[in-house]
Chain A
């Protein structure tokens, strides 16, 4: 019978394709996986994120592994799609038996995957913004770690910067998704809490050919600064149309949108004075410098164009340090507690895996300051980084100061 043959053949093929992967845990190997947005909305960042993680794995293994075990990292494409990501996560956990999944980017993906990782006692390290990822039920077991500042924190950083620059009449423009709105809501809450008013709030839909009407509404309030929760494509269109409108205003834009590509596309006239905000490590962090150099050489990409690559790098390093401290066979909650400890102040500060491994082997407590931020996990395992305000001057981003929340 045709159908039966087809189904059997298919099932056999599916199972056979797994035969190449060892199903039993091997001595001396610690398995993890990177689940990145190689395709889909996050695709501008996914490949870079994977490369950053792979660099970290190579660094750890070159230094002799963690706790006597090599890191073995599988990788899957989340397609920035919760459904595909759930299937990928299941495969990684069930078939490849990974102990940790790193590198998820979109909130939809992380929110869909975290119940699965929680159930399997697998750690999840992500760079998503949704507030729901900090608390129960999503993070009831505290196995989830957020390596990107929450949208709320970004918003507060925006407010600090706006205050510092003495703006009085801010307006907000948000991309209509959880992250964009999270940023501007964070700003609004913080700004109005200190007594200020926001003159206009606009939320715009994705993929429109023009945002002139949306801009019109924002500009009608005659703001002196416009704070955005936006992405590269829409920011390009909005800034273009704003410039053409001729109405003066300053801009505060998240670093993932106001990056080198934006400046190149729009040119120095349009972009002069834009304030780009991103979460950072301490000034001149050696971890970041070392990472950026290696990233440029090996991945042939510029670290500052993909803020998430440094985050996935840190995800692997801090995980490896924890494995070094408690051993590769430690239970998930022990591992998670150690990750938390290494990401919080109190130990000797280290900037690389090798440094940390030496100290841990000598029984000392370490605190890892990473390439993306100095971590500083809060009680929810969210990083609390500092933020850098960089100003565009003559077509180039120049870092002016750091904001500590």
Chain B
């Protein structure tokens, strides 16, 4: 294997990692405020993907498709919050987790009954990759990566610059102190669920563009998104994105050594190892993990 081959693998991993970064970010943001891993994340991704697909068919514009996906994702996420999660927000982790599994099943079932299981695909023009001495760089991938990075940047700007983002982080760090200082939790929650839903929706549209649309498409993203968020440290946005990219690159680079089946397992093994050594995740401060 040449250096160009390794670089190609790393680039593949980067793109896959970016794909996972969005749902991983969603998982970690929900965990920060609502304190549970949201198993419905994958299905919100799928719902957003379908939204983006239909928007694209109607308008023919990729930009509008992304917006359509984001909108659908945000709406589904908000609906899940109001109808399912809000009433039980104070309960145990396992209650919320099981509820989110139920929500995920429900979303998947609605998608399945409404749109059937025949594969749907975006009909997009395809571009050829540019070949730099054996390293393949695909313009479409660059565009999609750009979109993802832009979305990530927007979310980070919101989190670290906008007032509502600061409130979100404050509440995530210390809910009681946050409440005492006058932050209205409800408003922040609504923003959080909308933003994570929108992020998932965009992830779904991008995924739909790169692969095919099916009601189950979100489930296959869920465990990698969880693994990435866990590796980075649940609740830590930077950690989620870093974890996703790390996971993607490590998985692809490991392919020549472990093969295509075990590269998937490697992600989970890495997660186990990270947690053995640093139970709070790579980027989190040691706090209340036990």
Contact = CB atoms under 8 A, between A and B. Distances in A.
Direct contact of A and B (CB under 8 A): yes
Interface of A: 39, 43-44, 176, 202-205, 207-210, 212-214, 216-217, 220, 232-233, 236-237, 240, 243-246, 261, 264-267, 269-270
A244 B211 contact: no
A216 B9 contact: yes
A272 to B, nearest CB: 12
Contacts of A220: 1, 5
Contacts of B118: 44, 261
Contact of A44 (B12, B16, B117): B117
Nearest to A41: B117
B276 to A, nearest CB: 26
B66 to A, nearest CB: 17
Contacts of B277: none
B39 to A, nearest CB: 17
B260 A203 contact: yes
A355 B212 CA distance: 45
Contacts of A209: 16, 19, 207, 210-211, 220-221
B214 A233 contact: yes
A173 to B, nearest CB: 11
Interface of B: 1, 5, 8-9, 12, 15-16, 19, 117-119, 121, 123, 125-129, 131, 136, 138, 140-141, 207, 210-212, 214, 216, 220-221, 252, 255, 260-261, 264
Given A236-B212, A265-B121, A265-B123, 15 more contacts: A44-B118, A44-B119, A202-B260, A208-B220, A209-B211, A210-B15, A210-B211, A213-B260, A233-B211, A233-B212, A236-B119, A236-B121, A265-B119, A265-B212, A267-B123
10 contacts: A43-B117, A209-B207, A212-B15, A213-B12, A216-B12, A233-B214, A244-B129, A244-B138, A244-B140, A270-B126
A359 to B, nearest CB: 40
Of the listed residues B12, B19, B264, the one surrounded by the most CB atoms of chain A closer than 10 A to its CB is B12
Of the listed residues A39, A44, A212, A244, the one surrounded by the most CB atoms of chain B closer than 10 A to its CB is A212
A210 B136 contact: no
Of the listed residues A216, A237, A261, A270, the one surrounded by the most CB atoms of chain B closer than 10 A to its CB is A216
B79 to A, nearest CB: 25
A243 B128 contact: yes
Contacts of B255: 213, 217
